[in-house]
């Protein structure tokens, strides 16, 4: 069964190479991509079930046991996030194939399918790798694939945005490889399980410096304030499905890496005040930036930044309740944020413009599209009984149970951010769906007759909205898995004993 751990990495990478060979046959590329993502999604779900029942599944690549060899590890946390991520990746792929704009330029097929599969393989490696260096490799695989995707059929604006994204990502990569070198120099290993033991013996000052350096690295990748500046300028320029998959997956991989390294390498017994301050700043500055936007994609991008703060909220508390809330919020946000960007793509398709002011005064989109927007918008705002409410309630209860000043500041910021998120979603909904007269007669009119979305695009978006509702139905089991994953993050012994088999032997 442990061989299953390799499939979410190996299958997409092999399929990416085969997809290049099939570049003349778009139908074959589509079939291959869909079948591979269905296969790895099924595998990820099996890994989740097995990891929850048996503990972490470990695969020493090439038969070399850790810490000497490369190790892939699937525990509750990594398998859960991988399953949800691949579900979203599959849905966005179907949306992309219906839209068709990213797949070809004229009659010539683009590199969309190979790059998309490469991105999926990089995400799988990031969640499953058991050492810091291969986590770096995973980020570089995702960077190469995402740059291709963000610049497909690009004009000047998107190419410039792509360069901004690449330069910031390369800067964080340089910091990351520097951090890996320093960690290896200090401990003699990059294996995460072994590092969990050896970092405890380091001097306090060195441990703090290494922890802060990794916090900066993953703070850039997850768009944590004040390291978020690149995201609102990069994501909105890409086609809707590309923006959706980036928003759903790439920042969450950064948050996952932050959670994994901070809990395993730099455990704490009390609330991390510095991270609490950064979480508050991320929540408030992000949502204030969203309220100031007129472009629908920039508004959602700033909202994405803001809600990264909720994930940092639980990590800052450094207890089981807080980490349970963080895991629940990551799962919720992967699904809901991707759904909102897909809905935004349908809105822009009908309106012919991403500008909210220009949407006013035209014929409203179909009622179904309004419903598809309403469900994830209310969920993101934390309205009960949707998944956003469940995740936020877990975080608020954890903050109230902590009882410290930093925890209460986090609770207050989370409540205020939720109210401002509701205001931002209401503004977006009013502009997109009200059909009210334009307030400024000098504003050029938008097209009067909206283009209706293709059936597969609408069906995929509806499926994503339904997945968000399903999270509420499965709130009990999902909360149980999240709590067990949080306990394992703080206990660390199950992870280390599963990986370091040779060291455990007499």
| Tens digit of each residue's pLDDT (9 = 90 or more) over 84-98 | 999 999 999 998 887
pLDDT band at 435 (very low <50, low <70, confident <90, very high): low
Beta pairing partners, 108:
105
Considering the chain, what percentage of its residues have pLDDT values greater than 90? 53
More confident: 427 or 349? 427
> Angle at CA 105, nearest 5°, toward 169 and 165?
10
Contacts of 129 (CB under 8 A, 6+ apart): 70, 71, 72, 73, 135, 137, 138
pTM, entire model: 0.91
Specify the range with the lowest mean pLDDT, choosing from 76-90, 128-142, 242-256, 440-454: 440-454
Contact criterion met (CB below 8 Å) for 364 and 370 = yes
In the predicted model, what is the mean pLDDT of residues 253-258? 94
List phi, psi (to 5°) of 364.
-65, 155
What crossing angle do the helices spanning 251-265 and 296-317 adopt, rounded to 10°?
10
pLDDT of residue 242: 86
- Per-residue tokens: 18: 């085969």
Contacts of 110 (CB under 8 A, 6+ apart): 102, 103, 104, 152, 153
Distance of CA 450 to the CA centre of its chain: 31
Pseudo-torsion of CA 169, 175, 180, 186, nearest 10°? Answer: -170
Contacts of 360 (CB under 8 A, 6+ apart): 431, 434, 435, 436, 437, 438, 439, 443
Residue 131 has pLDDT above 70, yes or no: yes
Instruction: Residue 387: name the closest of 280, 494, 310 by CA.
Output: 310
SS3 state of residue 125: helix
Residue 343 has pLDDT above 60, yes or no: yes
Contact criterion met (CB below 8 Å) for 372 and 343 = yes
In the predicted model, what is the mean pLDDT of residues 28-48? 93
- Per-residue tokens: 314: 């639980």
Residue 11 has pLDDT above 50, yes or no: yes
Q: Is 502 exposed, middle or buried (0-12, 13-18, 19+ CB in 10 A)?
A: exposed
Contact criterion met (CB below 8 Å) for 39 and 124 = no
């Amino acid at each position: 069964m442990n061989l299953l751990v390799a499939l979410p990495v190996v299958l997409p990478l092999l399929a990416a190479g085969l997809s290049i060979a099939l570049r003349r046959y778009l139908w074959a590329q589509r079939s291959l991509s869909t079948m591979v993502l269905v296969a790895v999604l099924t595998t990820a779900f099996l890994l989740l079930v097995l990891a929850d029942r048996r503990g972490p599944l470990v695969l020493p690549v090439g038969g070399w046991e850790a810490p000497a060899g490369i190790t892939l590890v699937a525990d509750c946390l990594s398998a859960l996030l991988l399953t949800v991520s691949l579900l979203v990746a599959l849905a966005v792929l179907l949306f992309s194939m219906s839209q068709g704009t990213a797949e070809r330029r004229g009659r010539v097929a683009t590199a969309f399918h190979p790059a998309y599969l490469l991105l999926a393989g990089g995400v799988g490696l990031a969640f499953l790798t058991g050492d810091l260096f291969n986590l770096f490799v995973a980020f570089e695989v995702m960077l190469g694939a995402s740059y291709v995707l963000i610049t497909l059929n690009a004009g000047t604006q998107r190419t410039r945005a792509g360069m901004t994204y690449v330069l910031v990502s390369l800067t964080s990569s340089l910091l990351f490889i520097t951090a890996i070198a320093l960690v290896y120099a200090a401990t003699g290993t990059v294996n995460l399980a072994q590092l969990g033991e050896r970092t405890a013996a380091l001097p306090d000052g060195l441990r703090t410096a290494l922890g802060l350096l990794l916090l900066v690295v993953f703070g850039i990748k997850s768009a944590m304030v004040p390291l978020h500046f690149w995201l609102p300028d990069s994501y909105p320029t890409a086609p809707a499905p590309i923006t959706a998959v980036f928003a759903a997956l790439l920042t969450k991989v950064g948050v996952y890496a932050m959670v994994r390294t901070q809990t395993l390498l730099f455990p704490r017994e009390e609330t991390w005040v510095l991270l609490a301050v950064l979480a508050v700043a991320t929540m408030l500055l992000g949502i204030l930036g969203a309220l100031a936007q007129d472009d629908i994609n920039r508004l959602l991008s700033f909202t994405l930044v803001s809600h990264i703060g909720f994930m940092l909220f639980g990590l800052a508390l450094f207890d089981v309740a807080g980490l349970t809330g963080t895991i629940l919020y990551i799962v919720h946000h992967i699904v809901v944020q991707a759904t909102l960007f897909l809905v935004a793509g349908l809105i822009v398709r009908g309106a012919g413009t991403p500008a909210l002011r220009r949407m006013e005064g035209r014929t409203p989109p179909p009622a179904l599209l309004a419903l598809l927007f309403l469900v994830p918008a209310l969920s993101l705002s934390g309205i009960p009984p949707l998944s956003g409410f469940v995740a936020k309630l877990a975080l608020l209860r954890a903050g109230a149970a902590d009882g410290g000043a930093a925890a209460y500041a986090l609770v207050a910021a989370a409540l205020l951010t939720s109210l401002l998120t509701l205001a931002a979603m209401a503004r977006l909904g009013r502009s997109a769906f009200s059909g009210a007269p334009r307030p400024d007669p000098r504003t050029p009119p938008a097209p009067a007759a909206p283009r209706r979305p293709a059936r597969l695009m609408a069906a995929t978006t509806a499926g994503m909205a339904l997945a968000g509702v399903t999270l509420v139905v499965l709130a009990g089991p999902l909360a149980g898995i999240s709590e067990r994953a949080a306990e394992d993050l703080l206990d660390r012994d199950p992870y280390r004993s599963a990986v370091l088999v040779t060291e455990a032997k007499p």
